[in-house]
Amino acid sequence: MVDLYLATGISDALRAELARRFALHKGVPPFTTRAIVGGGQMQLGTDLLDRLPMLEIVAINGVGYDGLDLDALRARGVRVTTTPDVLTDDVADLAIGLMLAVQRRIAANDALVRRGGWQVPLGRHASSRRIGIFGFGKIGTAIAARAAPFAREVLYTARSAKPVPWRFVPDIATLAEESDVLILAAPATAETAAIVDAHVLDRLGPAGVLVNVARGSLVDEDALIAALLSGTIAGAGLDVFAKEPTVPEALCRMEQVVLAPHQGSATQETRGAMAALVLANLDAHFAGQPLPTPLV
């Protein structure tokens, strides 16, 4: 049986399917490992790759690959696959949900009712807002399609303008300035690291809301906490954090913040579809067939 190393981010159902096909390993991968499966946040440094001379394929159960050194994998001839498309709708839905939950105090007022309260603290208008989306690929475009029917304007920033009916803004500071809600949907890269800093939050302004469904590394978390405490911005909806699963205590204490445990793709339907794609890529690779969704 082929040796497969299981990194983090794998459901029990996917593990069970993998166990029918492969000899699974956790902890320390044996040097005979030919495949690795892990979630979009898995970390795979060159020190580990150096110990796995027989590695042929890394199948990511997600679309993020910021924990992987793609050049190092390419240089070793290792194939990499992701699970694109099937999770796009779920992540976009969550972005809209977080935005609405922050503006209409859905989570805070849920807690209020559970405490026996009924006196409603006022939220903020969610319709007719300017919604700025940073990162305009699959997920960013899906967020725009959902936001457009009730937004005053949808605007976006990407590396290049797209043939879409929404306004392109070339930099994130201007995007923040011209938006009431700033939604992050770009990958974690060297260029996007802490791109939402004190300056960008200042431009978003005291009525502004930040939503992050991308990666925690895009936000300077200390600057975000400071901005929320001082009222520099009004609130935030966060699915991702700088040091997951650790969520800063200060954020947990804030009513104007809605927190989620990196659940962008966490629906039964999507996790099933992602698992099927992971298996299809592995099956194709070991049968010598073309990979369904190759990244490298």
Beta-bridge partners for 226:
none
Residues numbered 71 to 110 that lie near ligand NAP (CB under 6 A) are 87, 91
Residues numbered 7 to 36 that lie near ligand NAP (CB under 6 A) are none
Query: Could you say whether residue 219 binds ligand NAP (CB under 6 A)?
Result: no
Rounded CA separation 213/181 (Å): 13
Query: Could you say whether residue 213 binds ligand NAP (CB under 6 A)?
Result: yes
Q: Which two tokens stand for residue 122?
A: 């006022």
Query: Could you say whether residue 183 binds ligand NAP (CB under 6 A)?
Result: no
Interior angle at CA 43, CA 42 and CA 48, nearest 5: 125
Q: For residue 50, count CB atoms less than 10 angstroms from its CB and return exposed for 0-12, middle for 13-18, buried for 19 or more.
A: exposed
Beta-bridge partners for 156:
133, 168
**Length of the chain in terms of residues written:** 296
- Output 18 or 184, the one with its CB closest to ligand NAP: 184
| Residue whose Cβ sits closest to ligand NAP | 137
Instruction: Rule CB under 6 A: choose which of 15, 76, 138, 167 binds ligand NAP.
Output: 138
Q: Is 194 left (phi over 0), alpha (psi -120 to 50) or beta?
A: left
Concerning whether 25 is annotated as a catalytic residue, the answer is no
Instruction: Rule CB under 6 A: choose which of 68, 139, 211, 284 binds ligand NAP.
Output: 139
Beta-bridge partners for 130:
153
Concerning whether 244 is annotated as a catalytic residue, the answer is yes
- Output 135 or 208, the one with its CB closest to ligand NAP: 135
> Least distance from C-beta 105 to ligand NAP, angstroms?
22
Query: Could you say whether residue 158 binds ligand NAP (CB under 6 A)?
Result: yes
Residue of 179, 183, 178, 207 whose CA lies nearest to 196: 183
Concerning whether 255 is annotated as a catalytic residue, the answer is no
Write out the residues near ligand NAP by the rule CB under 6 A: 62-64, 87, 91, 135-140, 157-160, 185-189, 191-192, 213-215, 239-240, 262, 264-265
| Residues with catalytic function | 215, 244, 262
